[in-house]
Amino acid sequence: MHCAWFEDGKLVSIWDTKHLTQEVRSNRLPPTLLNDRLIEQQSTNIPVILASVVPKQTELWQNYADLQIITLRDLKLTNIYPTMGIDRALALWGGSETYGYPCLVIDGGTALTFTGANKAKELIGGAILPGLRSQFITLNQKTAALPKVDLRETLPPRWATDTNNAIASGIIYTTIAGIYSYIIDWLQTYPDSQIILTGGDADILSKYLNQQYREIEIKSDRNLIFYGMKLAIADN
């Protein structure tokens, strides 16, 4: 779960927690959901704004008294399709309204997603594939002989002479080449577009892309979803 704390409309801090394992009580948040500052202030009975793509987690919030759930209907983007993930839609709206339209948002999370909107605030479309870390985990878990490989700050040698670097090379170079391909295609239609990386792997993907493709300008901001949630609440 990705959490953000707002005060007076300003983002104070962000943090991650594990999924809930039991129902939230009607007027008290479990301490496991809170960061240290909120625990110190004993701030447990506070308004909660929820956007979820995990139905079983959403169900555990149903009895919390001060809860508002954001859905696609709360977003002022057009051409959104009914099965679109609320996380993708919020990131696109938050990124576009913060940095400007047209906008391409690349979310490097468990899944790697591309989502674009034009100046008319219409969803143009996008794509979904396994995220960077998901590819490493899958290769380790689905093969008997291949090791777990951690990400590093710099690009690995493309033509590797050991197994760890070979895995890193294959996954990283093909992933950033795919990202670059989508960016170039998008810019052919929207040359004045904002391009923003978000999600847990935003910073590392930004470093890789800057090392390999210096000619493209990409912003990195992990808070786009929270910007979108703030907008959804302000407009309702």
Q: Which residues are catalytic?
A: 87
Dihedral (Cα; 60, 66, 71, 75), 10-degree rounding: -160
d(CA 16, CA 23): 18
Dihedral (Cα; 179, 183, 184, 190), 10-degree rounding: 170
What are the residues whose beta carbons fall under 8 Å from the beta carbon of 190, sequence distance 6 or more? 102, 104, 116, 118
Q: Give the tokens for residue 172.
A: 């990283």
What are the residues whose beta carbons fall under 8 Å from the beta carbon of 168, sequence distance 6 or more? 149, 151, 152, 156, 160
CB atoms within 10 A of CB 179: 25
The residue assigned the tokens 């790697």 is 112
